[in-house]
Amino acid sequence: MVRLPYTTALTTLFSYGLLFAFGQLRDFFRKFVDWFKAKNIKGYAPICLGLEDFYVRRLYLRIQDCFGRPIASAPDSWFDVVERTSNDNNKTLQCTSNTTRCLNLGSYNYLGFAAADEYCTPRVIESLKKYSASTCSVRVDGGTTKLHAELEELAARFVGKPAAILFGMGYVTNSAIIPCLIGKGGLIISDSLNHNSIVNGARGSGATVRVFQHNSPAHLEEVLREQIAGGQPRTHRPWKKIIVIVEGIYSMEGELCKLPEIIAVCKKYKAYTYLDEAHSIGAVGQSGRGVCELLGVDPADVDIMMGTFTKSFGSCGGYIAASKEIIQHLKQSCPAHLYATSMSPPAVQQVISAIKVILGEDGSNRGAQKLARIRENSNFFRSELKKMGFEVLGDNDSPVMPIMLYNPAKIPAFSRECLRQKVAVVTVAFPATPLLLARARICISASHTREDLMKALDVISRVGDLVGIKYFPAEPPKIAEADHDKLE
Amino acid sequence: MDMALPVVNATAAVLARVSAAFNAPLARAVVFGVHIDGHLVVEGLLIAVIVFQLSRKSYKPPKKPLTEKEIDELCDEWEPEPLCPPIKEGARIDTPMLESAAGPHTIVDGKEVVNFASANYLGLIGNEKIIDSCIGSLEKYGVGSCGPRGFYGTIDVHLDCESKIAKFLGTPDSILYSYGISTIFSVIPAFCKKGDIIVADEGVHWAVQNGLHLSRSTVVYFKHNDMASLASTLEKLTRGNKRAEKIRRYIVVESIYQNSGQIAPLDEIVKLKEKYRFRVILEESHSFGVLGKSGRGLAEHYGVPIEKIDIITAGMGNALATDGGFCTGSVRVVDHQRLSSSGYVFSASLPPYLASAAVSAVNYLEENPSVLANLRSNIALLHKELSDTPGLEITSHVLSPIVFLKLKKSTGSPTTDLDLLETIADKVLKEDSVFIVTSKKSNLDRCKLPIGIRLFVSAGHTESDISRLSSSLKRVSASVLSDY
């Protein structure tokens, strides 16, 4: 967890207070100006009333150019960012036709499959010519092709479970599966920092939802004991079933989840576990099989494993891997399987080829090289940043590293200055993170070379000095050895 | 005996003194013409005692929390249900597997069949120009976009696609989503919050129902495609409601209903909307690229100006033969979604090759409007030929590309109905190599419309394909439904 020093907290609160005050002042004057202009159609309530979109109008629009930057090439390790201009003080942005070649530290490209790949792309183009871009049909009607069946088998084998089912979008996987597994009378216990898709799925299921402190097996045990003993609210009937939902790598913290302890707690209290490996499948583990491999957990102990193909495999879509009975049940009742267009066949082929490369079944050792490189890159980058004095979150081996910024003014300062020096970073603020804990998030890729990383470190260090985010003392450079050499 | 006498004397003395005190001048006072005697003082004392007792806190037995040992016992005793219910006997598990593109003719399980199961309305699957533009995109951008729209996932083809669709429909702007069904269930919660009122058709499909559920607004359903029911619902909701100024009100309808093939009468809906001041959310997945003189959708078909419809959403997995979805409307509507629609903000963006396929598909539609005439003649021919099918009747609209056949006489239970229809579909596939499908329902779907056989007509079907289908269907349904 983040330790926020008092002075930083006070200055950050003061900055937000100032922005809030100015926003209110401008709103007040805007009321006078709009008295004469009829903004809303008579009789219809406005889409956003009063303070509902205050944050967007008065805070977010000022730094709008740091988000949503369009690119004009593949999201590989170097890409072209399109320049944008604004004539009305950032309220609207227009794209120009100029692009800048920047180093990409923001895309989820963990294994480097984002651009055209020598093994995957020819096969993808072949499948495009054979099956066309879409099947225009749902999976149960005319949308299952041989590729879909092949990928489901391959994904199950890769993850280590008996069977798997495929979906065309990762977000829909979570929101449509959770209602099929649990309904009214059940209990979902989810980590406090879980992704929005899990929250939506839990809400859509109708079950009661309780939250446990982020990554804390002790608090999870407390919550489980209290809930099982207390039963359903008001009636005190026993719960029908309990599902505990955790993620492999938390994308805003870069932390790995404490999986062995959580599984032990769940087994003791007979709760089912659901592991969302959106960021960790393919990116961590000796052979890329995710947090289970990294932390030494047997996949048979986790009841349901979910993952997406967007991050490490350079495609789109998601999967669920579980026992044969659960997958059978899902194939018959899951709305996303019965009503949604099946995954586009070229995207399926991309995942099949990517998994084959990772497993080494394409006849080369590029997969093993990529996995070794991303591990090396992540650990090197993290240790260098820490040495420079930045506050970096996350565990070793995780390719996601957030650098704390805290102050709202530092968000656009860091982002724009880095872009000027040709490094593209991602900055995240409220509401994706708590109000006081704004951060810049770096995603390392296997396609970053050592020179790329050195350049990135150099730029970040200079910008960090300029903006003032080196909250910890930097390690002094190694002068002792040089002196030692001189003496000799 | 001698001890009793002093005690008696003492008691008598005390009593005498007490009665003297009672008969003191205070006790014999006259207040407001009422003689106060001794008994009034006693009554006064009683009232004081009663008031004192009432003012004390009532006694509650103390709550004893469960001890650790009791909690352990409860946890040991508790048995959860299994995660999934056991599979029913004889449930259908296998789906037909395609071995080539899902065009009008395809290969299913090794056999060449005529395909009426893909919503490929304009016949764009296998179109050379679209495949070429996809190949160009794949070589330039790779397959995935590796990030959400806010974090370097916005590629220039997405912006091109958005402006192309907006220009095609005549609206100021549009926004792209990365998956067809996630469009509507992200749009509805972005606009409708707790406390708002939504009036929806009862035949909307699961994705719309999910969006309505996630929005936490008050939802009122009206009878499927019945304008009188809609009018009376609107009247009931707005009559006498003074707080209507602050509440946002929406009508949610689909242009062509997936569950029945009916078309919503947009001109009447717009009249009602203007009278009662509701906003309209129109789900156009199956009518975009199909209805209207040039394929611009339901508004063009009815001649309603596009500005009158507040929010239009559509999935692109049907007529445009690609994937993803879009939403369009005024500038305010589209900008609002860029920050508050969860399926847009928290999800990776559409793969760039699908966006360029969408652009090529819209270009094709603009350049070849004759493909719509082909589609319409195919639908008309199918309606004519299937009008006398034994045991089945057509319940969809004459212009709808989804031709919906349901049993003339239902057996009474949905499972037996489904079995009959599936038998018909299987026989048609096995004996005549025509691929048709029934409508499948999830147990989470609360739509009560009857199930049936859904035929998806494409502009790429030839007349012989349609005759083959109709003769086969007539023959098989005659044999299967002869007992009913």
Report the half-sphere exposure of B359 (CA within 13 A, side-chain side). Answer: 18
Among the listed residues A420, A423, A428, the one whose alpha carbon sits nearest the alpha carbon of residue A393: A428
Continuous H helices in A389-479: 410-420, 450-467
SS percent in chain A: helix, strand, coil, step 5: 45, 15, 40
Our CA angle for B22, B23, B25, nearest 5°, is: 105
Long-range contacts of B409-416 (CB under 8 A, 24+ apart): B409/B484, B410/B450, B411/B484, B414/B451
Q: Is B322 helix (H, G, I), strand (E, B) or coil?
A: coil
Question: How many Cβ pairs within 8 Å bridge chains A and B?
Answer: 334
The fold of the A6-104+368-467 domain, in CATH, is Aspartate Aminotransferase, domain 1 (3.90.1150)
Give the model's pLDDT for residue B5: 79
- Residues of B in Cβ contact (< 8 Å) with A243: 83
> What does CATH list as the number for A134-359?
3.40.640.10
Please state the rounded mean pLDDT for residues A73-94: 88
Please state the rounded mean pLDDT for residues B255-259: 91
- Residues of B in Cβ contact (< 8 Å) with A140: 95, 437, 440
The tokens for B92 are 């259908």
- Residues of A in Cβ contact (< 8 Å) with B317: 134, 136, 341
> CB under 8 Å to B356, separation ≥6 — which residues?
B133, B134, B136, B137, B157, B160, B161
- Residues of B in Cβ contact (< 8 Å) with A415: none
CB contact under 8 A, A44 and B277: yes
A480: pLDDT strictly greater than 80: no
Give the model's pLDDT for residue A46: 75
Nearest residue of B to residue A116 by CA position?
A: B142
Give the model's pLDDT for residue A219: 94
CB contact under 8 A, A133 and B130: yes
Residue A123: count other Cβ atoms within 10 Å of its Cβ. Answer: 17
Give the model's pLDDT for residue A302: 93
The tokens for B280 are 């309209």
Q: Which of A24-28, A432-436, A459-463, B116-120 has the lowest mean pLDDT?
A: A432-436
CB contact under 8 A, B142 and A71: no
Cβ-count burial B400-429 (b if 16+ within 10 Å, e if not): bbbbbbbbeeeeeeeeebbebbebbbbbbb
B134: pLDDT strictly greater than 50: yes
Report the half-sphere exposure of A460 (CA within 13 A, side-chain side). Answer: 32
Q: Tell me how far apart the alpha carbons of residues B425 and B436 are, in angstroms, rounded to a whole number.
A: 6
| Sheet order of strands, B392-394 included | B392-394, B402-407, B453-456, B437-438
Which of B131, B348, B445 lies closest to A170 in CB terms? B348
Among the listed residues A80, A70, A74, A126, the one whose alpha carbon sits nearest the alpha carbon of residue B139: A74
Q: What ipTM was predicted for this assembly?
A: 0.91
Among the listed residues B328, B273, B272, B340, the one whose alpha carbon sits nearest the alpha carbon of residue B297: B328
The tokens for A82 are 């399109």
Sign of CA dihedral A98, A103, A105, A110: positive
Sign of CA dihedral B219, B223, B227, B231: negative
Which of B97, B141, B346 lies closest to A171 in CB terms? B346
Delimit the domains of chain A by residue range. 6-104+368-467, 134-359
Q: Tell me how far apart the alpha carbons of residues B183 and B196 are, in angstroms, rounded to a whole number.
A: 20
Q: Which of A281-285, B340-344, B408-412, B422-426 has the lowest mean pLDDT?
A: B408-412
CB contact under 8 A, A136 and B206: no
CB contact under 8 A, B445 and A181: no
CB contact under 8 A, B246 and A129: no
Q: Which of A455-469, B238-252, B443-457 has the lowest mean pLDDT?
A: B238-252
Give the model's pLDDT for residue B20: 66
A396: pLDDT strictly greater than 90: no
pLDDT tens for each residue of A12-56 = 899 989 998 998 998 888 888 877 765 555 667 777 776 777 888
Helix (H) / strand (E) element for B198: namely strand B197-201
CB contact under 8 A, B151 and A426: yes
CB contact under 8 A, A117 and B142: yes
Whole-number Cα distances in Å, B392 to A427, A436, B134, B312:
59, 64, 41, 34
Nearest residue of B to residue A354 by CA position?
A: B143
Which of A69, A149, A338 lies closest to B154 in CB terms? A69
Please state the rounded mean pLDDT for residues A189-202: 91
Give the model's pLDDT for residue B83: 84
Residue A472: count other Cβ atoms within 10 Å of its Cβ. Answer: 12
- Residues of A in Cβ contact (< 8 Å) with B145: 75, 316
B445: distance to nearest CA of chain A, Å?
8
CB A277 within 8 A of CB A291: yes
Give the model's pLDDT for residue B23: 59
Give the model's pLDDT for residue A482: 45
Q: Tell me how far apart the alpha carbons of residues A346 and B353 are, in angstroms, rounded to a whole number.
A: 10
**Testing the interface with A: which of B70, B105, B146 to mutate, by most A Cβ within 10 A?**
B146
CB A61 within 8 A of CB A91: yes
CB B318 within 8 A of CB B119: yes
B56: distance to nearest CA of chain A, Å?
30
CB A464 within 8 A of CB A457: no
pLDDT tens for each residue of A332-350 = 888 888 899 999 999 999 9
Q: Mean pLDDT across chain B, nearest whole number? A: 87
Give the model's pLDDT for residue A303: 92
CB contact under 8 A, B81 and A49: no
Q: Mean pLDDT across chain A, nearest whole number? A: 88
Report the half-sphere exposure of A257 (CA within 13 A, side-chain side). Answer: 36
Which of A68, A228, A333 lies closest to B149 in CB terms? A68
Pick A331 or A34 by higher pLDDT. A331
Reported confidence tier of residue B388, pLDDT bands at 50, 70, 90: confident
Among the listed residues B164, B165, B163, B237, the one whose alpha carbon sits nearest the alpha carbon of residue B200: B237
**Testing the interface with A: which of B113, B124, B151, B279 to mutate, by most A Cβ within 10 A?**
B151
Q: Please name the residue that has the structure tokens 């596009």.
A: B306
pLDDT tens for each residue of B291-333 = 988 889 999 999 999 999 999 999 998 889 999 999 999 998 9
Which of A171, A328, A346 lies closest to B143 in CB terms? A346
pLDDT tens for each residue of A261-274 = 999 999 999 999 99
CB B83 within 8 A of CB A181: yes
CB B170 within 8 A of CB B330: no
pLDDT tens for each residue of B151-187 = 999 999 999 999 999 999 999 999 999 998 999 999 9
Cβ-count burial B125-137 (b if 16+ within 10 Å, e if not): bbbeebbebbbeb
Q: Tell me how far apart the alpha carbons of residues A320 and B470 are, in angstroms, rounded to a whole number.
A: 40
pLDDT tens for each residue of A197-241 = 999 999 988 899 999 999 999 999 999 998 988 888 888 888 999
B148: distance to nearest CA of chain A, Å?
9
Give the model's pLDDT for residue B157: 93
pLDDT tens for each residue of B25-67 = 555 556 666 666 778 888 999 999 999 988 888 778 877 777 8
- Residues of A in Cβ contact (< 8 Å) with B441: 338
Please state the rounded mean pLDDT for residues A277-298: 90
B466: pLDDT strictly greater than 50: yes
Q: Is A376 helix (H, G, I), strand (E, B) or coil?
A: helix
Continuous H helices in A307-359: 324-333, 335-339, 345-359
Give the model's pLDDT for residue A423: 93
Q: Which of B151-155, B240-244, B353-357 has the lowest mean pLDDT?
A: B240-244
Q: Tell me how far apart the alpha carbons of residues B318 and B234 are, in angstroms, rounded to a whole number.
A: 32
CB A252 within 8 A of CB A441: yes
Q: Tell me how far apart the alpha carbons of residues B322 and B93 are, in angstroms, rounded to a whole number.
A: 27
Give the model's pLDDT for residue A198: 93
Reported confidence tier of residue A481, pLDDT bands at 50, 70, 90: very low
Q: Tell me how far apart the alpha carbons of residues A375 and A354 are, in angstroms, rounded to a whole number.
A: 18
Please state the rounded mean pLDDT for residues B428-441: 88
Give the model's pLDDT for residue A61: 86
A118: pLDDT strictly greater than 70: yes
Give the model's pLDDT for residue B444: 82
Q: If you compute the radius of gyration of chain A from its CA atoms, what whole number of angstroms results?
A: 25
